[in-house]
Structure 1
Amino acid sequence: MDAAVDALAALLRGPVLRPGDAAYDVERATFNSAVTHRPAVLAGVADAADVSAVVAFAGARGLPVAVQSTGHGQALASADGVLVTTRRLRGVHVDPSAATAWIGAGERWGAVVAAAAEHGLAPLNGSAPHVGVVGYLLGGGISLLARSHGFAADRVRAIEVVTPDAVLRRVTATSEPDLYWALLGGRDNFGVVTRVEVELVPVTRLYGGGLYFDGATQGEAVLRAYRDWSAGLPEALTSSIAFFPAPDAPTVPEPLRGRLVAHVRVVHTGSAEEGERLVEPLRAIGPRLIDTVAEMPYAACASIFNEPAHPMPYDGETVLLSELTPRTLEAILDVTRPGGVPCIAEVRHLGGALARRGEAPNAIGLRDAAYLLGVLSPLRGPLTRDVVRPVHERLLTAAAPVTVGRSLPFMGPSGERAPGAGPEAGGETAADTAEEAVRSAYEAKDYARLRALKATYDPHNLFRHNHNIRPA
């Protein structure tokens, strides 16, 4: 094996690393540092030829392949096998006349937002600019403009991907409709994406920002008001609410320090005057700790969620709901109550354009969901998975009667339950649990089709260190 790895390293422009090499730990690091990859071979690919060589190397030896850009995807931990890191596949090329952009697999959304803004355009990016482009798109992409513009995956025009046979393909909805359909929703089960072409939208400004309330004294009123308020919103307004314990630290704005915060996030693509009118019922709840909702250039959209950019260890789970019930609201207030296990609970309002399929079919399903509910906790000191998960389960159990499935991009990082993920894997029961979790992210007919296509493109399940879709 050592000789084979040395030969691979001689072929690649990017680095090939093994455990013990100086750069190994840096290259395998994830945004969620609770997920620790331990690949036997780590390939930092520099171009599509590198990717083809690595996939051929792995396929010839039956080694499982995992793919990572930034590590935001809460992926399952991989052990042994090959980890392909795509962070060196850079480049954003905007065609303003066509309102499209070609984007390398190593790019993050912040770079795309900035490049598109120069031409009066915007991508359908998510809430954090440091998230990688490709993993987000292949999972669907619930953007800041989700209710007005739909899933980001519906705006993908072309995908360049190295499939498990080590062939680089340019995939479109007309050239290879089955593979195109499977890639957009199937995540990294069908190969290593090297570039994508996406449609941009003519959005230059918005009325948006955050309303920060004291969660301890106003939380119940804010949450119930948000449920009633969101039910009647036009598609031009996309919103969410999160409860989080703000650290008592100098890096946190002074009004929030040491408090339980209820944070309502607002993105309105209509006029500022209409936005003011729509947001007024929330402002009428009472005083805000901070209120940043105002007219802003789209290029400043990262300030709306203001999410942390530094890696951290955490554990969490997300489900899709048909409605927000009183029981679910009570459970959110319960698990975020000060004094217990620290939890961040979030509700994102779906519907609108998300419920409509794009012109080119893809595997993104469960489009009738009305809300996304997520919960996560930091893992540090005494806060282990065994401590935080029972608290999370209280919330998920309360929401179970209205849960319609799960969202693959937000699926929890249950690395220790990954089938074939090394000595910590839990055997058949763990594999069954993992498979059922993935199945819950799709319509039944779509999951069956994905398994059939997996058997066509990856019959040996080479790409299995992920939220895996087994070949039929």
Structure 2
Amino acid sequence: MTENQGRTVPAEADVTELDDMITGSVFTPDDAGYPAAAAGFNLLSQHRPSLVVAASTADDVQAAVAFAAAHDLPVGVMATGHQPFPLADGFLLITTGDMNAIEIDADRSVARVEAGARVADIVELAQTAGLAPLHGSSPTVGIAGFTLGGGMSPFLGRTHGWAADHILSIDVVTPDGVLRRVSAETEPELFWGLRGGRSNFGVVTGLEIELFPVTSFYGGGIYYPAGDVEAVLRAFPEVLRNAPDGFTCSVMLLNFPPVPEVPELLRGRFLAHVRVVHLGSDEEAEKLIAPFRAIGPAVADTVERRPYSEFAAVHTDPVDPMPYEEHGTALTDLPTEAVDRLVENARLMAGSPVTALEIRHLGGELANRPSGASPIAARDAVINVWGITLGPPEAVDAGISVLREMTERLEPWATEHIHTNFAGRDNRVEQLFTTADLDRLRRLKQQYDPRNLFRVNNHNITPE
């Protein structure tokens, strides 16, 4: 082992031997491809691993895990790198972005996906069979990371529940280097823990997940100007009051920067973006969103009947890597007093460094805990509040400070826990799981990873 700019790097001969063993690629800090190999979607999460193994097969992952164990290197795992985690160096990073095969079993309504498959790819392929997975708003997020973090779908979640509860089996390389296929029937305890604990117990190389019959929806976005933001927030609980499970709605407050990349209609403006998804009829959807329609003219309106393949048009999430930080909370109720605080938050946010604040409708099947459910803690939440700040570190720090103040105003209605996929860099593992589930997860960690080898690029669960 040698030192390179403060990082421990295995001997060159050992790295060469590893490179010869795998079909993927190995990068050290001296390699020209290292920066790109170590980078994820979030450009603020610039880890400094001693070694990057860009795996292309499960065998590659096994070789990388065995190498890390032999050289006492902590292990981190990354597919697309959307979620921010505490920065780290001196570890072995295994990337699975090149493992992106997808197989659709239309007869069983099941998909088998490799760890690097992205949401847009599985939606496109599943739609050829009239099916869709539980997925998030972004087309570029990895389906494995989304699903193993709980998987709160703004399209099908209120109808079918959490994505993690619809995993049928998981292929995982555990810290001992063994490739296992685990399910509720085989190694049920590990199967339970992976569906929320993610890379704390190994490297997931593939999933088998349920699919659901849907080919279209009625939805899109409505943008309201700054003068109507309060009216939008006041109308929001009225819209939710009689909403069926097939209807999902969220409001995102947006500070659009005055840059050429933003459409001229939105550039440099503070707006409320109402996002609508309805699996029922167009007429029923329009009745549900009537309180929004009554507010007045919109800046833009894209709500219409859409093929399901156009899911990304609802939230219009960015698709290019960018630097950002996020912070949020979850609420058990949205009474008038809480809406008043949201209105105050909107006034605080306008013109601030905060880029966006989303208030998302939950409930429905997301509130249920089926038999054998995954360790998702905040099932009692009816509203998820999540904010993000884009830009250089100084702007991000200023924005996160404002976001913390905004979420503190909502503390009287906050749940004890937050959703794993919306956890920020500074959230503790105790905030993600109930005490009983965390104790159980720590016992599981002691069983499979007593050295805590898998402790980087995750919200780390320490051994018992």
Query: The TM-score by the shorter chain falls in which range?
Result: over 0.9
State the alpha-carbon separation in 2 of the partners of residues 196 and 306 from structure 1.
Answer: 27
Deviation at 1:278, TM superposition (A): 1.1
Shift of 1:228: 3.0
Taking the aligned partners of 1:52 and 1:191, their CA distance within structure 2 comes to 10
Measure the CA separation in 2 of the matches of 1:450 and 1:342: 35
Q: Which amino acid aligns with 1:443?
A: T
What is aligned with 2:339?
326
State whether residues 335 and 343 of structure 1, in contact with CA within 8 Å, keep that contact through their aligned partners in structure 2. Answer: no
Question: 1:238-249, aligned counterparts within 5 Å?
Answer: 238-249=248-259
Give the TM-score of the pair, scaled to structure 2: 0.94
Task: State the Cα distance separating 1:381 from its structure 2 match.
Answer: 7.3
* SS at structure 2 position matched to 1:256: coil
Residues 453, 442 of structure 1: alpha-carbon distance in 2 compared, 3 angstrom cutoff:
same
1:113 matches 2:117: no
2:324, 2:396 within 8 Å by CA — same for their partners in 1? no
Q: TM-score normalized by structure 1?
A: 0.92
Which is further off, 97-106 or 437-446? Answer: 437-446
Contact 1:205 1:298 in 2 (8 A): yes
Unaligned stretches of 5+ residues in structure 2: 1-9
The code of the aligned residue for 2:461 comes to I
Q: CA deviation at 1:327?
A: 4.8
Contact 1:331/1:394 (8 A) holds in 2: no
1:32 correspondence with 2:42 = yes
CA distance in 1, matches of 2:117, 2:393: 33
- Aligned counterpart, 2:7: none
- Answering whether residue 362 of structure 2 is matched by residue 347 of structure 1, we say no
Do residues 357 (structure 1) and 349 (structure 2) align?
no
Tell me which of 23, 31, 38 is aligned to 1:13: 23
| Contact 2:215-2:307 at 8 Å conserved across structures | yes
Aligned to 2:452: 461
More deviation in 7-16 or 318-327? 318-327
Alpha-carbon distance in structure 2 between the residues aligned to 1:224 and 1:352:
22
CA distance in 1, matches of 2:223, 2:145: 30
User: How does 1:418-457 map onto structure 2 within 5 Å?
Assistant: 437-457=428-448
| Matching residue of 2:407 | 396
Q: Deviations over 1:363-411 (max 9, x none)?
A: 12221111111111113275142x2232122112112222212222111
1:98 match: secondary structure: coil
Matched, 1:199 2:191: no
Q: How does 1:194-273 map to 2 (within 5 A)?
A: 194-214=205-225, 216-273=226-283
State the alpha-carbon separation in 2 of the partners of residues 55 and 331 from structure 1: 50
Verify: 1:282 aligned to 2:295, yes or no.
no
- The whole-number CA distance in structure 2 between the counterparts of 1:370 and 1:225 is 16
The reply on whether 1:470 has 2:462 as its aligned counterpart is yes
Query: Which deviations, in whole Å up to 9, do the C-alpha atoms of 1:413-435 show, x marking residues without a partner?
Result: 34xxxxxxxxxxxxxxxxxxx6x
SS in 1 for 2:387: strand
Identify which of 145, 158, 163 aligns with 1:135: 145
Query: Residues 192 and 373 of structure 2 are in contact (CA less than 8 Å); yes or no, is this contact kept in structure 1?
Result: yes
Aligned-pair distance for 1:174?
1.2
Structure 1 portions without partners, runs of 5+: 415-433
- Once the two structures are overlaid, the 10-residue window that deviates more, 248-257 or 363-372, is 248-257
Aligned letter for 2:451?
A: H
2:389–2:396 contact (8 Å) kept in structure 1: no
Residue type at the aligned position of 1:463:
F
1:153 aligns with 2:164: yes
Given residue 93 of structure 1, which amino acid in structure 2 is its aligned partner?
A: E
> Residue 332 of structure 1 contacts residue 345 of structure 1 at CA under 8 Å; is this kept in 2?
no
Q: Is the 8 A contact 1:130 1:309 kept in 2?
A: yes
Shift of 1:331: 4.0
Counterpart contact for 1:66–1:78, Cα < 8 Å: no
Shift of 1:225: 1.1
Q: Does the aligned pair in 2 maintain the 1:335–1:392 contact within 8 Å? A: no
In structure 2, the CA distance between the partners of 1:130 and 1:384, relative to structure 1 (3 Å rule), is closer
Aligned length: 448
Instruction: Tell me the SS of whatever aligns to 1:175.
Output: coil
Report the RMSD for the aligned CA atoms in angstroms: 1.5
**Aligned CA distance change for structure 1 residues 102 and 291 (closer, same or farther; 3 Å):** same
The letter of the residue matching 1:123 is: P
Verify the 8 A CA contact 2:354 2:387 in the aligned structure 1: no
SS at 1:94's partner residue?
A: strand
- State how far apart, in whole Å, the 2-side matches of 1:355 and 1:394 are: 27
Higher mean displacement: 43-52 or 363-372: 363-372
Letter in 2 for 1:148: T
Is the CA contact 1:327–1:399 (under 8 Å) kept in the aligned structure 2?
Answer: no
CA distance in 2, matches of 1:408, 1:381: 23
The DSSP-based 3-state class of the residue aligned with 2:138 is coil
> How far did 1:190 drift?
0.8
Q: For residue 467 of structure 1, what is the amino acid of its counterpart?
A: H
- What's the offset of the Cα at 1:122? 0.8
- Structure 1 pair 331/19, CA: closer, same or farther in 2 (3 Å)? farther
| 2:162 paired with 1:162 | no
* CA–CA separation in structure 1 for the residues paired with 2:343 and 2:315: 24
Deviation at 1:244, TM superposition (A): 0.7
Letter in 1 for 2:386: G
2:423 is matched with: 411
User: Is the Cα contact below 8 Å between 2:166 and 2:209 reproduced in 1?
Assistant: yes
The answer (yes or no) to whether the contact 1:46–1:88 under 8 Å persists in 2 is yes
- Is contact 1:313–1:378 with CA below 8 Å preserved after alignment? yes
Residue 206 of structure 1 aligns with an amino acid whose one-letter code is F
Letter in 2 for 1:470: T
The C-alpha deviation readout for 1:77-129, integer Å capped at 9, x for no partner, is: 22111000001112111011111111111110000000000011111111011
Alignment check: 8 A CA contact 2:377 2:419 kept: no
The CA distance in 2 between the partners of 1:358 and 1:122, in whole Å, is 21
Segments ≥4 residues shifted beyond 3 Å: 248-251
